[in-house]
Structure 1
Amino acid sequence: MLHLRMITPPDRTHAVLRLIEESVGTTHLVVLTGAALVPAGDVVTCDVAREAGDELLHALRELGIDEDGSITVEDIDLTLSKSADRAEEEAPGEGVDAVLWEQLSDATHEESTLTITYTAFMIVAMLIAACGVVLDNAILIVGAMAVGPEFGPLAGVCTGLVRRAPKPAARSLLALLVGFAVGMAATTLFSLVMDALGLFEQSMLEQPRPNTSFIWQPDPFSFVVALLAGVVGVLSLTSAKSGALVGVAISVTTVPAAANAAVALSYGDVDQTWGSAEQLLVNLGAIVLAGTLTLYAQKLLWRTRRGRLRRTPPAKA
């Protein structure tokens, strides 16, 4: 269940109440007339089944409540209520399958904005990966994958494409490109410093590396795994199962491929640089493709159920 708290202009409170009463999956409706001070208005709260939440939020925004008042949405961990049970039963589908597009856009906006923290995570992840590829240490590679923040911008690109929102998509793409560019530049410099200190050697990069050679040798499985990871990553965001994102992060070699390319570049190894860049592009492209198609599929699925999200008025006697 979701808990909605709204500040509504007094002249639209009646329309909001009628909308909530006509929507399936709603319950626990409360109205506090004149309770809001900034912005001034009435406070309306209700609970709604997650599977009916997106349609209700869309209708509330059409009434301009977000512009002249406010809409706050919270997840409810536990509700002990027969009324809530009935609301969830009458709402079509399952809550775990529902997509709250506004929530998804907000989440990807936060994760895909180019910030100092995001850039720092990207740099540190690539430095860890650089140590991993030179030492042929799979544990360091997995750690770098888990630290890398690149899935946020990737999800932002997918969301922007599906919602036909060019500005969020462009913002996410900028964060992705700048993050990788800065991270690779820092890793190249890091490799040169480590070489000067005698901690990195070109022979360590050129020798057989059975644990990490896949990073710069893309094959069809690289594309397949990235596709599957893109599907799971988007599903984990839309269903609020964020734990699955860890599995997504350690399934694709985006950050390690970029780090290997940077280290190889510092030694002038064109073959490894190009192979790593190809691996990186394959993974990024496959994730965006799979994520976009997954969101489109979810959008089409719930569009077919929209007609069931209104209560049928009782027949007149």
Structure 2
Amino acid sequence: MLHLRILSPTDLTDEAVRILEEEPGVSGLVVLRGSVVRPPGDLVVADIAREAVNDVVEQLRATGLHHRGSIELDPVHAWLSRSGFDAELHTPGSSADTVVWAEVAQRSYEDTELNWTYLSFMSMATLLAGIAIVIDSQILTIGAMVLGPEFGAIAALGVALVRRRYVLLTLAIRTLVVGFVVAIAITAAAAVAGRILGWVTIDDITGSRPGTEFIYTPDRWSFIVAVIAAAAGVLSLTSSKLGGLSGVFISVTTVPAAGNIALGIVFGVGDVIWGSTLQLALNLSGMALAGWATLAFQQAVWSRVSVRRSRALDRLRRMI
């Protein structure tokens, strides 16, 4: 169940109310005329089954309401309502499987914003990865992978392609490229300082590293793991049942590969640079491809559900 809140210009309120009244997935509806100061208009509040949200939002967008007012969605974590239960029963599909595209798009734009917070987390994660490589620590490697914020931008690539949001695609690519470049540059500068102080030597980079050797030795499993992890991550982002996202962060070697590239550049170790770059490219391409494929499949499935809903509503209206 979701809570729908609309700030509507007065001339569009009746149309918005009509859309909500005709939707069987709406279990509660409140209209407060003249209660909104900015923008001047009315407040419309409704409780709606998650499965019905996409169709309702599309109809509201078609009126142009979002240009002059606002459409807001909030999850209802706990509710007791017979009418709400009936609304979910009358709406085809499962709430856990439903992708609320407005919610996904909003989160994608937020995750691809290139700001100091993103760059700080990216740089700190890559610095941790560099330290993990020097001391050959798997624990620190996992910590760096969890800390890295890049998955949101990678998932946004799939959202942009599936929903044809090309501005979002540009933002996601820019955020990924700038984020990795800045993180690698900062880690390389730290490696230079460590080399001058004698804390890091070339033997730390070229010597035996059984705990972190996988970072610069990609194989067929690297791509397969990236695909599976990204598909699971996208499902966690789009489903109402969150829980698998942290597993994605500790499955795919992106940030550690970036840290290894920085160390390889400072010490001039070509094999390390090439292997880590290939590992990074394999993981990023695998995750982007899997994210796109998962979202495309979800959109194709839900479009069929929407068609069934439309036909069912038409039959219901004719019966009335």
TM-score by length of 1: 0.97
Instruction: Indicate if the aligned counterparts of 1:222 and 1:279 stay in contact, CA closer than 8 A.
Output: yes
Q: How does 1:71-110 map to 2 (within 5 A)?
A: 71-110=71-110
TM-aligned CA deviation for residue 267 of structure 1: 0.5
Q: How does 1:199-210 map to 2 (within 5 A)?
A: 199-210=199-210
Q: What's the counterpart of residue 223 of structure 2?
A: 223
TM-aligned CA deviation for residue 309 of structure 1: 3.0
Q: What's the counterpart of residue 236 of structure 1?
A: 236
Q: How does 1:178-193 map to 2 (within 5 A)?
A: 178-193=178-193
Q: Distance in 2 between matches of 1:242 and 1:314?
A: 39
Q: Distance in 1 between matches of 2:185 and 2:242?
A: 30
Q: What's the counterpart of residue 196 of structure 1?
A: 196
Instruction: Indicate if the aligned counterparts of 1:119 and 1:183 stay in contact, CA closer than 8 A.
Output: yes
Q: What's the counterpart of residue 175 of structure 1?
A: 175
Instruction: Indicate if the aligned counterparts of 2:2 and 2:48 stay in contact, CA closer than 8 A.
Output: yes
Task: Tell me the secondary structure at the aligned position of residue 85 of structure 2.
Answer: helix
Higher mean C-alpha displacement, 255-264 vs 29-38: 29-38
Q: What's the counterpart of residue 319 of structure 2?
A: 315
Task: Tell me the secondary structure at the aligned position of residue 96 of structure 2.
Answer: helix
Q: How does 1:1-317 map to 2 (within 5 A)?
A: 1-310=1-310, 311=313, 312-313=316-317, 315=319
Higher mean C-alpha displacement, 90-99 vs 22-31: 22-31
Q: Distance in 1 between matches of 2:36 and 2:187?
A: 52
TM-aligned CA deviation for residue 241 of structure 1: 4.2
Identity %: 41
Task: Tell me the secondary structure at the aligned position of residue 174 of structure 1.
Answer: helix
Q: Distance in 2 between matches of 1:308 and 1:23?
A: 14
Mark the runs of 5 or more structure 1 residues left unpaired by the alignment.
none
Mark the runs of 5 or more structure 2 residues left unpaired by the alignment.
none
TM-aligned CA deviation for residue 123 of structure 1: 0.6
Q: Give the residue type in structure 2 aligned to 1:152.
A: G
TM-aligned CA deviation for residue 11 of structure 1: 2.3
Instruction: Indicate if the aligned counterparts of 1:24 and 1:309 stay in contact, CA closer than 8 A.
Output: no
Q: Distance in 2 between matches of 1:22 and 1:300?
A: 25
Q: Distance in 1 between matches of 2:238 and 2:253?
A: 23
Q: Distance in 1 between matches of 2:76 and 2:166?
A: 32
Q: Distance in 2 between matches of 1:271 and 1:71?
A: 53
TM-aligned CA deviation for residue 10 of structure 1: 2.3
